[in-house]
């Protein structure tokens, strides 16, 4: 009975945190979604990039359960799909304009929560198309994006893994399908040759299903932040 009460309370807390997401007006761009960090004082930022034909609310709703209030969770919207009228579906722009949208979203978040955003590097989560974009962003600016969680994508775009290692980079690949695992293992080997910490976790049995991969996502997220005191619970 105690276990049932405890787990019920945890699930309720996780659901409440996911429901706490809000819209964020971003100058020059469509509104982003975000979930505020718990507590007071500066907290880091986790940027979560959705897949093609998705919505940022889906990313923030799911990954709020992973971040657990330890950071601000920012989910950029991107640009609308023109082939899905009335369906509220979005895709991400290429890496350069996406970097500008992320920067604008971060400024909007800082204006909404003065003094609350840590100035250090962001952790980036990418799912599917978002993983592809995240890998491009990190390869171009490893100091800004040294820690990555790439889910169902992003393993085929790496060049110069040794250069990424100079940023104390740490990369986690999480896969549900075979092609992701195959490419991810090759990427992990390349990273390790470049002295970058990298790992791959696979949870087979579903295609692009985040809920199936949730245990692996929790485990690898904790690995990414384990030595970062900014993510300590308060």
pLDDT < 70 stretches in the chain? 1-19, 159-163, 165-167, 206, 234
> What is the predicted pLDDT for the residue at 6?
26
How many other C-beta atoms can be found within 10 angstroms of the C-beta atom of residue 225? 20
The C-alpha atoms of residue 51 and residue 49 are separated, in whole angstroms, by: 7
> What is the predicted pLDDT for the residue at 48?
98
Phi, psi at residue 207, to the nearest 5°? -100, 120
- Residue 156 CB-half CA count within 13 A: 10
The C-alpha atoms of residue 29 and residue 76 are separated, in whole angstroms, by: 9
> What is the predicted pLDDT for the residue at 225?
97
Annotation: CATH topology of 2-227: Rossmann fold (3.40.50)
Lookup: tokens for 28? 């020059």
> What is the predicted pLDDT for the residue at 85?
84
The C-alpha atoms of residue 27 and residue 108 are separated, in whole angstroms, by: 8
> What is the predicted pLDDT for the residue at 211?
85
Computed on alpha carbons and rounded to an integer, the radius of gyration of the chain in Å comes to 17
């Amino acid at each position: 009975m105690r276990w049932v009460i405890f787990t019920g309370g945890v699930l309720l807390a996780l659901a409440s945190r996911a429901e706490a997401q809000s819209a964020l007006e971003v100058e020059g761009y469509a509104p982003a979604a975000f979930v505020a960090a718990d507590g007071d004082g500066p907290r880091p930022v986790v940027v979560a990039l959705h897949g093609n034909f998705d919505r940022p609310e889906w990313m923030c709703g799911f990954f709020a359960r992973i971040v657990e209030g330890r950071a601000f969770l920012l989910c950029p919207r991107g640009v609308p799909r023109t082939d899905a009228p009335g369906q509220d579906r979005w895709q991400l722009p290429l890496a350069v304009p996406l970097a500008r949208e992320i920067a604008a979203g971060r400024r909007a978040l800082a204006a909404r929560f003065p003094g609350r955003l840590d100035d250090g590097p962001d952790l980036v989560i990418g799912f599917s198309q978002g993983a592809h974009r995240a890998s491009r962003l990190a390869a171009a600016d490893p100091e800004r994006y040294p820690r990555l969680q790439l889910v169902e994508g992003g393993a085929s775009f790496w060049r110069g893994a040794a250069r990424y290692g100079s940023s104390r980079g740490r990369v986690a690949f999480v896969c549900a399908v075979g092609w992701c695992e195959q490419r991810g293992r090759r990427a992990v080997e390349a990273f390790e040759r470049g002295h970058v910490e990298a790992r791959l976790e696979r949870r087979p049995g579903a295609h692009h299903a985040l809920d199936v991969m949730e245990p692996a996502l929790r485990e690898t997220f904790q690995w990414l932040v384990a030595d970062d005191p900014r993510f300590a619970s308060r």
